[in-house]
Amino acid sequence: MPKVELLSLAYFIIDEIRLVDGTVKKNVIGGGGTHATYGMRIWYPSPESQKIGFVIQAGNDFPSSIFQALLPPNLNLTLAVHSTRPSTRGLNVFASNGNYEFSYVTPSIRTEPRDLPSSYLECNIIHLLCSPTQAKLQISEVLRLRDKQLPRPVFVWEPSPRSSKRINWDSLLEAMRLVDVILPNHKEAAALLGLVDEDNKGSNACEEFLTKDMLNRIVDEFLSHPIGIHGDGCVILRAAHVGCVVATKQERRHIPAYYDNPSQLIVDVTGAGNSFCGGVAAGLLKTNFDVFEAALYGTVSASYTIEQVGVPTLKGLNDAGQELWSDEDGVPEVRLAKLRQRISE
């Protein structure tokens, strides 16, 4: 069995989705950790996919159909069963303006480092989606439990939406010193900087933060503080249909979204940002830790996530034996080449 190289500590959630037209979809596989894991999985065809570890916290109501649906991608899964509590369930309600409201229906079950199999603790890259306080605690615990002879893993961190408030800025700066890549989206970053009321992060008013000047202003503020234990980390500012800004103290690049036209096969953007982060994690390994190239991998991962409700589905193999993740440009490397070509032009 291959060594586990990539891991997400974020939530697995069973979602109910209520669409604008009144359609209700139940038992949808979701959660930030799940989308991030699939964002990684797109770049690791089976049996390499066993290099991706993920812990699923299953309550006493966990549907067997969901477990069966998780098997085809051939991930290195660990099922933690809780006989006295329900599974983590969420509700996504979509509005006509394209925004949605998420809420937990049951108490969430967090994966803690102590829950991880010892083989998972040997991984190279860990994705976190949590508050600054939890980021500090989880990183400290991972390093405590990990074999001290192993090099420090790379930490890729999404600050959680609920914690993206100006009051948490100082705590975020402390957590930034412990991670290698921080990946907020434009709404969350604006709220952390006090540029927008955190209660209005889901409103269309946040479109004003998608201008090139404003994105650069936000990135400048993050880069004015140390990122990483040596102060040489990276910020990737996710910016919806505009793409992302990837920046270190030495270099900055604006990378477009794969789909920048809302009419292009966009079904549901839920989880696209998480998938992007998982794709970045995979891209870091695939490109010898080139953050700018890794962002291209994240961009392609997000493009597959928005084409359906829920996580991307492995559709089969083409004649060359390559995995297909879509009916159009189903091979990730094809989309990666197209994105590179678009940027070069």
Tens digits of residue pLDDT in 132-156: 999 999 999 999 999 999 999 999 9
Closest to 232 (Cα-Cα) out of 212, 210, 215, 247: 247
Q: Per the structure block, which two tokens stand in for 143? A: 């390093």
Q: Is the pTM of this model over 0.75?
A: yes
Residue 70 has pLDDT above 80, yes or no: yes
Helix axes 32-41, 291-305, angle to 10 degrees: 110
Q: What does the DSSP 8-state code read for residue 145?
A: H
Percent with pLDDT over 70 in the chain: 96
Cis check: omega of the bond before 47, within 30 degrees of 0: yes
pLDDT of residue 262: 62
User: Phi/psi of residue 343, each to 5°?
Assistant: -70, -40
Domain ranges of the chain: 6-344
pLDDT of residue 95: 84
**What is the tens place of the pLDDT at every residue in 160-213?**
999 999 999 999 999 999 999 999 999 999 999 999 865 554 545 578 899 999
The average confidence (pLDDT) of the chain is: 93
Closest to 306 (Cα-Cα) out of 268, 335, 274: 268
6-344 fold: UDP-N-acetylmuramoyl-L-alanine:D-glutamate ligase (3.40.1190)
Range of lowest pLDDT (82-86, 171-175, 199-203, 224-228): 199-203
Q: How deeply is 239 buried, as exposed, middle or buried, from its count of CB atoms within 10 A (0-12, 13-18, 19+)?
A: buried
Pairing of strands 252-255, 244-247: antiparallel
